[in-house]
Amino acid sequence: MASITLDNITKSYGTGAKANQVIHGVSASIKDGEFIVMVGPSGCGKSTLLRMVAGLEEITGGNISIGERVVNKLDPAERDIAMVFQNYALYPHMSVFDNMAYGLKIKGVPIDEIKQRVDKAAKMLEIGAYLDRKPGQLSGGQRQRVAMGRAIVRKPQVFLFDEPLSNLDAKLRASTRLQIQQLHRELGITSLFVTHDQVEAMTLGERLMVLNSGHVEQLGTPDEVYHFPASTFVASFIGSPPMNLVAMQDATELIASRTDSMPANDLFHSKNDAIVTVGVRPEHLRVMPQGLALQVLSIEMLGAERLLYTQLGQSHEPNMIVRISEGQECPAIGSTIHVQALAGKLHGFDAQGKRL
């Protein structure tokens, strides 16, 4: 096992004036045995960054270290990593056993040790009954477990996961997430996991690296990223439903309706920067007799809770979401409600979208 250090990593396609830079000075230290999830929308650079760690993409600038070694110039086979892809990448003509054992055979590992490693990984992943089958005879979830087993038997220093669950249905994704969590607890191998699914990120990651257009917006624990977003981008991307973001002038009633009487600037501890945007999570709003007036446009029923999609001001589209629990009275569509924010649950952002 080993730590991973990213030191001012850049990536550009092309040269000179026509160069297109897609990764902008990414730096991060990933501890030995840590599980880091890189999350962001499509095109933000997360898979490119992962492929640079793997050695499948050349870096334009900076250094990547695995353990004590700078690996910029090393081939993927020399980096002591194992990668699990979105499309499984299994050999269709080989059995499950041979797929899992292939990398070890290439390395010249004795056959007895190969069988021992494959059997142990297969038992761990509950695919022992399928070792004689071909990948085409397996379900998508079973094939993904074979791909993970192939990575496990190599005993690498680092696991790299490139959206491995995106081809699975919702139920399989949930069960496979739990399996990956359990595997990491048992193996303790440093892991980088790429996903665009923020629910996956929140449930799997010990820390999250939130990327936006090749920049790291925030690196922190799921709790830090959710409760203290570093920017409006993070606030709107992490959380389902996302944080409500309201222009300061529109949020005056929301702030004034709080139980304390502190001025807005004191609430956010800002000194010289003016608050431009106020953020509040849907679950931190309460329907009250007075407060910010919202018109209910639609209601989403989610079993134990409901999401009220509401309109603030003259917008004809929902621009505020309020979460209410099962026991609360549900307003009618078209009605007007008043909401107040819970004390201490407001977030302030400046003109650049950065947290104050």
Question: Per residue in 126-140, pLDDT tens?
Answer: 899 999 999 999 988
CATH code of the domain made up of 241-349: 2.40.50.140
Domain boundaries, the chain: 4-235, 241-349
DSSP code for 354: B
Which of these CATH numbers, 3.40.50.300, 3.60.20.10, 2.40.440.10, 3.50.50.60, describes 4-235?
Answer: 3.40.50.300
Residue 129: what are its φ and ψ, rounded to 5°?
Answer: -75, -10
pLDDT at 262: 47
Across the chain, which has 356 residues, the per-10-residue mean pLDDT values are 93 86 95 96 93 94 95 93 87 94 92 94 91 92 90 92 86 85 90 92 95 96 96 94 88 66 50 76 91 92 92 80 89 92 87 90
219, 212 Cβ separation under 8 angstroms: no
Q: Give residue 59's identity as a one-letter amino acid code.
A: I
**88: helix, strand or coil:** coil
Per-residue pLDDT, 17: 77
- The tokens of 131 are what? 């070792």
What does the pLDDT read at residue 261?
Answer: 47
Cα 86–Cα 24–Cα 163 angle in degrees, nearest 5 = 10
Residue from 36, 38, 47 nearest 197 by CA: 38
**The pLDDT value given to residue 252:** 75
Q: Which pLDDT value is given to residue 343?
A: 79
